[in-house]
Chains A and B, each alone.
Chain A
Amino acid sequence: MCLAIPGRILEVVDEGNRLAKVDVAGVQRNVNIGLLDDDGVGVGPGDWVLIHVGFAMSKVDEAEALETRRMLESMGEDYENELEELKASIIE
């Protein structure tokens, strides 16, 4: 639960609840992007975000996201577990 995993926003699927479909290393799930609404920019399709427990917590640039992912991949089991948990997630 402590890992922040990078994902790319594909589309906003629920305006009201601020849910967006993201792609995390090929896994596509919904996460909440509402906590980034007030930072003056907000996030939308194409943006990379760091995700914690189903919520986008920070916007990052692509290079940062890919580097974070490379590091997580090198962690092995912990990252795989996190991805498995994400796969089991159905946020609607």
Chain B
Amino acid sequence: MKHVDEFRDPALGQVLAGEILGLVEPGRHYKLMEVCGGHTHSIYKYGIDDLLPANVELVHGPGCPVCVIPMGRVDDGIALAHEPDVIFTCFGDMLRVPGSDGTLLDAKAEGADIRMVYSPLDALRIAKANPDRPVVFFAIGFETTAPSTALTLKRAKAEGVKNFFCMCNHVTIVPPLRALLDSPDLRLDGFIGPGHVSTVVGVRPFEFIPTEYGKPISVAGFEPLDVLHAIHMILTQLKEGRCEVENQYARVVPYDGNPRALEVMSEVFELRPHFEWRGMGFISQSGLKLSEAYADMDAEIQYSVPGIRVADPKACQCGEVLKGVIKPWECKVFGSGCTPERPIGTCMVSSEGACAAYYNYGRFAREREVV
């Protein structure tokens, strides 16, 4: 599938779907996890699950950066935003994520100076335009966004900007996958690997999935046909009794990732011993913080944040959703107490979140129809 033209070809989708039917063994149930929220979105937008045989189940993984931020971190962000003179900057997606007592948007309504930015470089520009006020950037994201934060901090340091601080919530993709594979809750047959993260980390870091856990993985692009193709590749491996890392998205993802991006990340960040994930608890070596050389720009060192671990709200089952243990509509508050307009959990806030994808595409409470 090298020619992009073919991606516009619905007939090819039919061919792939037809071949997939021939790849699955009747009576065997296949559980494939799409790691990335972008894939979840594509799957429901284009009804990819409807093209699959009934015994192929797609479960949604932890790869939505907004969804995995725990309440305590939101509270810490809000506390920082209320510090005197602080200008607090973050991506728009973060504004509506509930903390234990409201959202950043609520804090803004209460008078905190909170500004949405498109890029960490916008936050740096705000810092340079307001030299007498501390500007905090609330950084979130997997390896897709972490290099951008790193390069921004590097530039701020080189330019001697003294009022720019970062509250780092960057996370890495491999540890939660390992945690899922180690968990007895869930038996997976294969993975649709995250496309954008892999442009940075490459495909090599996923090799442990076949070598240590014996599961196939195919790193996939975001076109509906990419996702379908990746499913085809995984099922082919299972049928042939192989398990390998395959790269469906090789036209964008190099095997070794982006060396420059990895280099800036390792210069600016270091691994935290552990980091809390929404609903998944603490996962060791899964989060990044600013390295020693950047400590004077680390908002968590320069300010004292509460740093309290807050349990997820009782009604919220985001943890189970993020681990693929339940489907969004199985959460008791889905679509009633929790909607994109008034989210209780993070998976409903970001459009990459599984709950929002189900809600927006009308998947309220039904199992897939049998094809």
Residues of A within 8 A of B (CB): 1-4, 17, 31-32, 34-39, 50, 52-55, 57-58, 60-61, 63-64, 66-68, 70-71, 74-75, 77-78, 81, 85-86, 88-92
Contact = CB atoms under 8 A, between A and B. Distances in A.
Given A1-B145, A64-B4, A78 B121 contact: no
A71 B223 contact: yes
Among B45, B118, B223, the one with the most A-chain Cβ atoms within 10 Å of its Cβ is: B118
A53 B145 contact: yes
B291 interface: no
Contacts of A68: 222-223
Among B3, B5, B151, the one with the most A-chain Cβ atoms within 10 Å of its Cβ is: B151
Contact of B119 (A54, A64, A67): A54
Interface string B121-138: 110010000000000000
A54 B118 CA distance: 7
If over half of A's interface residues share one DSSP class (helix, strand or loop), that class is named, otherwise mixed; here it is mixed
Contact of B260 (A4, A38, A52, A70): A38
Among B37, B41, B147, B263, the one with the most A-chain Cβ atoms within 10 Å of its Cβ is: B147
A91 B145 contact: no
A50 B252 contact: yes
5 contacts: A35-B151, A52-B196, A57-B147, A64-B251, A90-B125
A31 B155 CA distance: 14
B148 A54 contact: yes
A37 B147 contact: no
B90 to A, nearest CB: 10
Sorted from nearest, which 10 A-B pairs have the closest CB atoms?
A54-B119, A38-B260, A89-B118, A63-B4, A85-B118, A55-B148, A1-B91, A91-B121, A67-B4, A58-B199
Among A38, A53, A54, the one with the most B-chain Cβ atoms within 10 Å of its Cβ is: A53
B259 A38 contact: yes
A85 B122 CA distance: 11
B144 interface: yes
Interface string B48-80: 000000000000000011100000000000000
A86 B122 CA distance: 10
A91 B119 contact: yes
A89 B126 CA distance: 11
A50 B96 CA distance: 27
B120 A2 contact: no
A68 B3 CA distance: 13
Contact of B144 (A54, A57, A61, A90): A57
A2 B119 contact: no
Contact of A64 (B148, B252, B254): B252
Interface residues of B, number: 50
A84 to B, nearest CB: 9
Contact of A81 (B3, B92, B117): B92
Nearest to B121: A91
B260 A34 contact: yes
Nearest to B38: A2
A86 B125 CA distance: 15
Nearest to B259: A38
A70 B120 CA distance: 27
B117 A89 contact: yes
Among B121, B145, B200, B259, the one with the most A-chain Cβ atoms within 10 Å of its Cβ is: B121
B64 A63 contact: no
A53 B252 contact: no
Given A1-B91, A50-B252, A34 B200 contact: no
A89 B155 CA distance: 18
Given A58-B199, A60-B252, A52 B125 contact: no
A61 B2 CA distance: 12
A92 B121 CA distance: 8
Contacts of A50: 196, 199, 252
Nearest to A18: B151
B283 interface: no
A34 B222 CA distance: 24
Nearest to B115: A88
A70 B4 CA distance: 12
A8 to B, nearest CB: 16
Contact of B259 (A39, A58, A66, A81): A39
